[in-house]
Amino acid sequence: MAYQHTVHWVVDKHVDNLWKSPEIKEAAAKIAAGELVAFPTETVYGLGASARFDEAVKAIFQAKGRPADNPLIVHIAKTEDVNNYTNFVPDKAWKLIHSFWPGPLTIILRHNSTLSTSVTAGLDTVALRMPDHPVALALIAASGEPLAAPSANRSGRPSPTTAAHVAEDLDGRIAGILNGGATGVGLESTVIDCSAEEPVILRPGGVTRRQIEEIIGPVALDEALTEETTAPRSPGMKYQHYAPEAPLTLVDGDDSFFHMCITEHRKAGERVGVIIQAADVGLTKADVEYVLPGKTEEEIARELYGALRTFKKTEVDHIFMRVLPAENIGFAIMNRLVKAAGGRIRSQHS
């Protein structure tokens, strides 16, 4: 769409009866009119439009610059709304719904053809999720619409965890942004396909494989996922994802190996940025340091996309970060990092 004035609404997520607030009502009216509104969820900000209007859904793809063959998640505010868009929900899917909704788990089911065909990219399945955020739930309730919402970034960029990140990418391209503060989890929802006999995790995220298996028993990981997350691929993977402005290289090695990688690049005349934990302050002598606050995997997940967005190409030529153990939410972190790095990993051991 041509230039649009983007409205910024600030909302307090702790207010009672949020769906009656003037900001939510205005935003809901835009959704009902087929326009695009960005809103916070507990994972990342989403770019929402009614999942029933094909034109509105197409506008999401256009605003993001997203390939049309990549389907969107449909956000609902009540678990029973699953029945509105599907004909059959397997037992295991209901168990997951009752255990994790509202929350960062997206469930793929066969749909009943009531939603826009663009939202499902023409597939016979739909991705459904009930977000755990009062602003998201209020917007869905006030508009009375299921919301198609991918992450509210330009395609290929790190997902937005604050309203400022959304504005950076989409100001002037969308009708409005509901600013409800920073999101919680910081990485997108886990995506699990429950449309066939055996459930398969397609994307790791806020809900871990172990948590899922505690409820429904063993689940498979999509093959591509294991390859992408554990083995470095050749640089330049099929789709660029989560990419910072300067190239990112992951480093797998001890302190002196990490230091050596950075020194090498600085000697070659590059300005080097690093994303590090507090324990590594002073180790690298990089030009720009981003120190991750906290050290649990959950805290790192929350800060990761913001960290990637901090580095501007005018300030650094290359970014380095050490790999993390790919366990629990660390598996989701590494999945995003390997993509952000386009598969570039320097390992001391190979």
Please report, as ranges, the residues that interact with ligand TXA according to CB under 6 A.
Answer: 41, 43-44, 46, 70-73, 104, 106, 108, 120, 123, 125-127, 129, 131, 149-151, 188-189, 191, 202-203
> Is 159 flagged in the annotation as binding?
yes
Sheet with strand 345-347: strands edge to edge = 288-292, 272-277, 318-322, 248-252, 345-347
- Which one-letter amino acid corresponds to residue 299? E
* Nearer to Mg ion among residue 156 and residue 235 (C-beta): 156
Which residues, listed in sequence order, are joined to residue 318 by a DSSP beta bridge? Answer: 272
Please indicate if the annotation marks 226 as binding a ligand: no
User: What, of ligand TXA, Mg ion, none, does residue 155 touch, CB below 5 to 8 Å by kind?
Assistant: none
With CB cut-offs between 5 and 8 Å by kind, which of Mg ion, ligand TXA, none does residue 335 bind?
none
Q: Collapsing DSSP states into helix, strand and coil, what is residue 288?
A: strand
Q: What are phi and psi of 196, to 5 degrees?
A: -110, 180
Q: Is 66 annotated among the ligand-binding residues?
A: yes
6 binds Mg ion (CB under 5 A): no
Picked from ligand TXA, Mg ion, none, the partner binding residue 70 (CB below 5 to 8 A depending on kind) is ligand TXA
Q: Would you say 151 or 161 has its CB closer to Mg ion?
A: 151
Is 70 annotated as ligand-binding? yes
Query: Given candidates 151, 161, 189, 310, which one binds Mg ion under the rule CB under 5 A?
Result: 151
Residue 195 engages Mg ion in binding (rule: CB under 5 A)? no
278 assigned binding-site residue = no
Residue type, 168: E
Residue 316, number of CB atoms within 10 A of its CB: 22
Name every residue whose Cβ is closer than 8 Å to that of residue 256 and which is 6 or more positions away in sequence. Answer: none
Q: Is 97 helix (H, G, I), strand (E, B) or coil?
A: helix
Binding site partner of 202, from Mg ion, ligand TXA, none, Cβ cut-off 5-8 A by kind: ligand TXA
Contact in structure between 333 and 304 (CB atoms under 8 Å): yes
